[in-house]
Structure 1
Amino acid sequence: MENTKTWFGEWFNTRYYHILYKNRNNDEAKAFMQNLVSFLKLPKNNSILDLACGKGRHSIFLNTLGYPVIGADLSKNSIDYANQFANNTLKFIVQDMRKPFNIKVDAVFNMFTSFGYFDEDSDDIKVLQNIEDCLNDEGVAVIDYMNVNKVIKNLVNAEVVTRDDIEFNIKRHVTDGFITKEISLNENDETLHFQERVKAIDLEKFKHYSKQANLKIKHIFGDYNLSDFDVENSDRLILILTK
């Protein structure tokens, strides 16, 4: 399984990733999950795959709502942490999303821009094909992505963020169709460098990807309150897909 050879294999397995993003808004995330399951009218016995689940915070919350959940992530460190919360209806697995999932579920949630990591479009399409393959006939998938149009227009080129007395020096740029974040920090007299590199996938490209994966885009939203998508002003690009 591809791991340390990739930016995501390295960065997501470090403690620094979790420190930098420790202040993510959990209340907003929970409200989004509730909005989704309400809109989708998911019965409580429907199974959910939380694809790229990280340490499992959304998997855990969805499970508390009564859903059987499988959380999958490439990072073994994250899955090891999440496994302390596992129970009969909450499982966690190490999974490269480009590899077949070998399970069947009623819904797949891919949240908070956990897509577009790969150099080749064929890999992104393969992820969607794997999602299509693991869905039951009446299943539904949710892709929550950044609105690249707004992100690029408002890109902050450089900033310093302090978390737990660690200064993260962050530089951003758009190169070769990717939005890249270069992250450096100093600890114990050592300078460490990491990178986030996410493809600038707009709605038209998602439409192309989805068609290649035999998925249909049924609804498009622009924020976690499920407002209509506006290409210039929406913070998010949220897709609801079916077979």
Structure 2
Amino acid sequence: MAVNMQNIRRAYLLSTVIIILLIFFVLLPNYKYIHTINPAISNKRTSSLTFWVINLHDGCRIDTTTLLQGLDQTVIIADHVQRKNPYLTEFTRPRILFARDKGPLAPFMYSHTSYTVPLSENDIRNFFNYYKKDSVMMNVNAFYCSFPSSLCEVYMPLNRTIIWLPAHRFTLARCSRPEIDQLILHMQQSVRSEQQPKHFVAAGGRYDQEYIKYYTG
């Protein structure tokens, strides 16, 4: 029972975080989206956003996706699993889309099917080159990453809002000191006041909040 209650509390906190982030996106008066890849949609204000997500854990894949869908947001599922998951009936809801339906996935999705696979600068460069002129990507407002949250590093060159929302330790998938230092630097850069577009580092609970704060400042 204790484990179940812990999961319920964690889900509630994650829901609260997402709702707060959506308020930032939708209601903050001076917030503007900056899209260098697609100038046609620059500065566009909308109450319905499009989120792109790659998650390598079924729980994260279903929970946050259906939460956002319930808030009338659009979610594009871009991981290698696509429809081959145990929650397919939940993914038939409106506004939940699969990137594979729009075209072939980047090779990155098939080479990084586990959090144990390291992320290189070459991976980031190839991902950017694959999607920089992609018609679906041009309409994405934000990326979020939970498992692993460090996967968000691959999105940094695309100049979209990034939500780092760890469902495990934020260093998951970064197994060497240089990799961890680079990740921390990227997260610190993400939340600088002058950063545009705005990025967010969030936590699923007080322990995670203090853990991230301890290592990232």
TM score, norm. by length of structure 2: 0.49
Instruction: Give the helix-richer structure, 1 or 2.
Output: 2
Structure (1/2) with the larger strand percentage? 1
Q: Which structure has the larger Rg over C-alpha atoms?
A: 1
Q: RCO higher in 1 or 2 (8 Å CA, sep ≥ 6)? A: 2
